[in-house]
Amino acid sequence: MTTTTYPTDLDQLNETVGFVRAQDTATLLPLLLPGLDALELRALMDRCRFSHAALLVFPSSTEALRALLADSGLPPDATARPSVVVRDRLAARHGCDPAELDVRILRPRVSGSDRTVEVFALLVPPGSDLTDLAEHERSRDHEAHLALEVEQSDPLVLRGLCALLTRHGAAADGGGYNPHEDGTVLYFTAPADSKTGYRRLELYVPGEHPDVLAAHLARYRAGRPAESLLRLLTGAWTTQALAVSAELGLPDALDTDTALGAPKLARAVGADPDTLVSLLRYLAMLDVVSADGDGYRLTETGALLRTDVPASMRPLALLYGGPFYRSFAALGHTVRTGETAFDHLHGENHFDHFARDPELAALFDESMAASSRMFDPLPTHPVVTAAARASAPATVVDVAGGNGELLGRLLAAHPGLKGVLLERPHAVEAARRALDAAGHGDRCGYVAGDFADVPAGGDVYLLSRILHDWDDDRCREILRHCARAMAAHADLLVVERILPADDSPSLATAWDLHMRCNVGGRERRADHYARLFADAGLTLVDTSPLPLDATVLHVRKAGAPLPSQAARPSGA
């Protein structure tokens, strides 16, 4: 039997400290990327610096970790924090429970330099079941890497750096955003001809850069097609895990600061303890909860599923994981026939189906209200702002405005505005109660009816995510009702997700499939909407973006004078 001897943690740490002390950005980059020319080297040196080298060690205790740092000449009092990323990577590699892995992260500074050693420490007490895991990791050194810190948090610069690294043989190897440090990490495998001895490279940039990160992860997954396809195939599991956690009240039972153990949590939400742990592991992988030795905490993402937060997305989780989840299972029927799967399953459209069930009707209205909160810039849209500055009180008419969430936000932002809400009778009563409670009742009127009842007298009319519910003929009918009610000076603001003309990735593409399957509507391109407006005697003046790939389409009556430049949307 052959026995393999691995370097001790102290040997590895001393070697890493020596490397960090000996190298700087100018000497490291030619070793890391041997093919760099002088201009490329200068471009990298101007935009990033060598910040640290990292390794994973396996001390038996916190005291042993301090002694290890001291023996290698590093400050033994460096602050240790839980390392979620490395803990989860280890758990995934070895098929174990993340909660069983006590992984710490420290960044002690190397004397005589401005660089650090990033020490990941998995505590492995004597006789621990983790001994084999530690031997495996020591032999393969998976977590060892070098890090370059980008000094300009400009997405254009970051894309250029990624392209330069890729051109010289570095390959995307995962990454993520750390909300605790407000930093984005992009991992690469080092080029095959790299002379540093390190197989992985980290590019760290302050701030959140979702577009750059998404493109980087797409390149990473493109090199792993089977894994990418498997992640896509199991997407339904994610929907259900989030919906079930919301249904159980798990986010409300958890805290963002204080950890709660699984047994106590199971009692609080009425769940089987073992199965709940399985769900929590999955939610931790999704960054909805975080786990450590003390139990589970709610993350910033998971907190959006609480019932007591202003922007709660809990109703959306219950809607997408409930009624719409079931009808989406009949997507094949929609694709084969063009018919709406929801109607096929229930014998009626979702509006009528929900209206007959008070709980479903309330859930739908709450979901639409939650979505309204995501479009924060709309209350300060230039057309609304210009109307609020009018000498006489201006009136905003919210057509099919649900429970009044959006109208209430507009009235709160502009005390000089008046509002009118047009909705079904049950929704009008819910909106009246909500707007009265918010202190807007004396500035708001209500019309119980349908689209044929759009009232005259408004200065600004709103159609927020209404047209995508319907086919073209019904959209023309709705728009004609609006045009008939609008005076020559009035503006119509249509909020929708617009399909990109070049078919680039967009939330609108996903929502188009959802609308066809579950609602009977569809998303459209801007020129498609322009034709619908023209058919109704209206003209598209301009568009301006909103969050989550939404757009405001600014519309006026055909032949009406264009608004002044001050009242036009930004970007006009």
Burial 152-184 (b: 16+ CB within 10 A, else e): eeebebbeebbebbeebbbbbbbbbeeeeeebb
Q: Determine the residue type at 7.
A: P
pLDDT attached to residue 4: 41
Residue with tokens 């786990």: 291
pLDDT attached to residue 91: 84
Bridge pairing between strands 116-122 and 48-57? parallel
Query: Which segments within 432-490 are labelled E, that is strand?
Result: 444-448, 460-464
pLDDT attached to residue 34: 92
Report the alpha-carbon distance of residue 136 to residue 95 in Å, rounded: 13
Asked whether the beta carbons of 325 and 243 are under 8 A apart, the reply is yes
Residues 6 or more apart whose CB falls under 8 angstroms from that of 102 comprise 122, 123, 292, 293
Encoding tokens for residue 356?
Answer: 């007959």
Report the alpha-carbon distance of residue 525 to residue 529 in Å, rounded: 7
Residues 6 or more apart whose CB falls under 8 angstroms from that of 454 comprise 397, 399, 422, 461, 481, 482, 484, 485
Residue 565 scores a pLDDT above 70: no
Report the alpha-carbon distance of residue 563 to residue 383 in Å, rounded: 9
Query: Which is it for the CA torsion 175, 166, 209, 185, positive or negative?
Result: positive
Of 266, 286, 53, nearest to 176 by C-alpha is 286
pLDDT band, very low/low/confident/very high, at 2 (cuts 50, 70, 90): very low
Asked whether the beta carbons of 160 and 97 are under 8 A apart, the reply is no
Mean pLDDT, rounded, for 60-72: 91
User: Which of 299-303, 383-387, 456-460, 502-506 has the lowest average pLDDT?
Assistant: 502-506
pLDDT attached to residue 391: 72
pLDDT attached to residue 364: 87
Residue 497 scores a pLDDT above 80: yes
Report the alpha-carbon distance of residue 202 to residue 216 in Å, rounded: 12
pLDDT attached to residue 477: 98
Residue 570 scores a pLDDT above 50: no
Report the alpha-carbon distance of residue 553 to residue 474 in Å, rounded: 18
pLDDT band, very low/low/confident/very high, at 117 (cuts 50, 70, 90): very high
Bridge pairing between strands 395-399 and 418-423? parallel
Report the alpha-carbon distance of residue 537 to residue 481 in Å, rounded: 11
Residues 6 or more apart whose CB falls under 8 angstroms from that of 442 comprise none
Report the alpha-carbon distance of residue 353 to residue 61 in Å, rounded: 60
Residue 305 scores a pLDDT above 70: yes
User: Which of 2-16, 217-231, 454-468 has the lowest average pLDDT?
Assistant: 2-16
Report the alpha-carbon distance of residue 475 to residue 465 in Å, rounded: 12
pTM over 0.85, yes/no: no
The tens digit of pLDDT for each residue in 518-561 reads 999 999 999 999 999 999 999 999 999 888 888 999 999 998 87
The tens digit of pLDDT for each residue in 234-282 reads 899 999 999 999 999 999 999 888 889 999 999 999 999 999 999 998 9
Report the alpha-carbon distance of residue 11 to residue 214 in Å, rounded: 38
Mean pLDDT, rounded, for 370-385: 77
How many residues are present in the chain?
572
pLDDT band, very low/low/confident/very high, at 380 (cuts 50, 70, 90): confident
pLDDT attached to residue 180: 67
Residue 511 CB neighbours (<10 A): 22
Residue 79 scores a pLDDT above 80: no
Taking every pair of C-alpha atoms in the chain, what is the biggest distance, in angstroms?
93
Query: Which segments within 58-153 are labelled E, that is strand?
Result: 81-82, 103-106, 116-122, 145-150
Encoding tokens for residue 242?
Answer: 């989030």
The tens digit of pLDDT for each residue in 398-455 reads 999 988 989 999 999 999 899 999 998 888 988 999 899 999 999 999 999 999 999 9
Residue 64 scores a pLDDT above 70: yes
Asked whether the beta carbons of 354 and 528 are under 8 A apart, the reply is no
Report the alpha-carbon distance of residue 462 to residue 412 in Å, rounded: 16
More confident residue, 6 or 202: 202
Residue with tokens 């009235």: 411
Asked whether the beta carbons of 417 and 443 are under 8 A apart, the reply is yes
Report the alpha-carbon distance of residue 470 to residue 516 in Å, rounded: 9
pLDDT attached to residue 320: 95
Query: Which segments within 442-498 are labelled E, that is strand?
Result: 444-448, 460-464, 491-497
The per-residue pLDDT of the chain, averaged, comes to 89
pLDDT band, very low/low/confident/very high, at 374 (cuts 50, 70, 90): low
User: Which of 53-57, 136-140, 472-476 has the lowest average pLDDT?
Assistant: 136-140
Instruction: List, in order of start, the domains of the chain with CATH numbers.
Output: 9-227 (3.10.180.10), 234-309 (1.10.10.10), 369-567 (3.40.50.150)
Mean pLDDT, rounded, for 118-126: 92
Mean pLDDT, rounded, for 278-299: 87
Helix ranges (DSSP H) in 120-186: 131-140, 155-167
94 is catalytic: no
More confident residue, 365 or 406: 406
Encoding tokens for residue 400?
Answer: 């099919």
* Catalytic choice (52, 440, 468, 554): 468
Q: Determine the residue type at 188.
A: F
Residues 6 or more apart whose CB falls under 8 angstroms from that of 367 comprise 315, 316, 318, 319
The tens digit of pLDDT for each residue in 324-352 reads 999 999 999 999 999 999 999 999 998 88
pLDDT attached to residue 504: 81
pLDDT band, very low/low/confident/very high, at 567 (cuts 50, 70, 90): very low
174: three-class secondary structure by DSSP: strand
Q: How distant, in Å, are the alpha carbons of 117, 336, 411, 513 from that of 185?
A: 17, 43, 41, 33
- 21-35, 72-86, 131-145, 180-194: which has the highest mean pLDDT? 21-35
Report the alpha-carbon distance of residue 470 to residue 451 in Å, rounded: 12
Encoding tokens for residue 264?
Answer: 């106590």
The tens digit of pLDDT for each residue in 143-199 reads 999 999 998 778 888 999 999 999 999 999 888 887 767 889 999 999 988 999 899
Asked whether the beta carbons of 557 and 537 are under 8 A apart, the reply is yes
